[in-house]
Amino acid sequence: MNILFVCTGNTCRSSMAEGIFKYLLEKSNIEDISVSSAGISVFEGEASNKKAIDALIKKGIDIRDHKARQLTKNIVEESDLILTMTESHKAMILNAVAGCSDRVYTLKEFACIINGENAKGRNLDIADPFGLDYNSYERSAEEIKEQLNKIIKNINAVSMYEQRKNNR
């Protein structure tokens, strides 16, 4: 299964989500899941934001080698599950690429679904820390990790989701 995280510049939220999820998968001895990230409006090859790197190093996660990648139609088509940081990122993808609506969710929305919670009426956006202080990056990293832990906890449901989708 190929999971893609998407934000705006691919230097803060989605790169942190990629790093955190890879860390959680490894820590849980979960294999056969490929994780990557991309951005809607990227300076190709740009490194992760220094504050994002520092916030994750503090958690034992190293994203210093991350390079920003522009989201393309091919990347969307190659991804089995696309988790965006905001509802606007989700809408942009759905408007740009036909036939992907069964694979695109906000991170919070998918975490709710996979955890059996109702996502309706909730704020489904991960706040953008770009340009803010270090504590904002730590808060975003914690918010992302909280959602990813819900997914890890229900990883069997994620696999069943993938199987149902492939059987259509």
| Ramachandran quadrant class, 113 (left: phi over 0; alpha: psi -120 to 50; beta: rest) | alpha
Cα-based distances in Å from 20 to 43, 134, 152: 22, 17, 11
Q: Is 128 a catalytic residue?
A: yes
Domain range spanning residue 116? 2-166
* pTM of the predicted protein model: 0.94
Q: Is 12 a catalytic residue?
A: no
* Tally of domains in the chain: 1
Given 54, 100, 128, 139, the catalytic residue: 128
Our CA dihedral for 76, 79, 83, 88, rounded to 10 degrees, sits at 10
Alpha-carbon span 146 to 62, nearest angstrom: 18
pLDDT tens-digit readout, 18-60 = 999 999 999 999 999 999 999 999 999 999 999 999 999 999 9
pLDDT tens-digit readout, 111-154 = 999 999 999 999 999 999 999 999 999 999 999 999 999 999 99
pLDDT tens-digit readout, 56-71 = 999 999 999 999 999 9
CATH number at residue 98: 3.40.50.2300
Given 13, 103, 112, 125, the catalytic residue: 13
Q: Which of 97, 107, 88 lies closest to 35, judged by CA?
A: 107
For the beta carbon of residue 155, count every other beta carbon within 10 angstroms: 15
For the beta carbon of residue 119, count every other beta carbon within 10 angstroms: 15
Q: Is 13 a catalytic residue?
A: yes
- Is residue 12 within 8 A of residue 129, CB to CB? The reply is yes
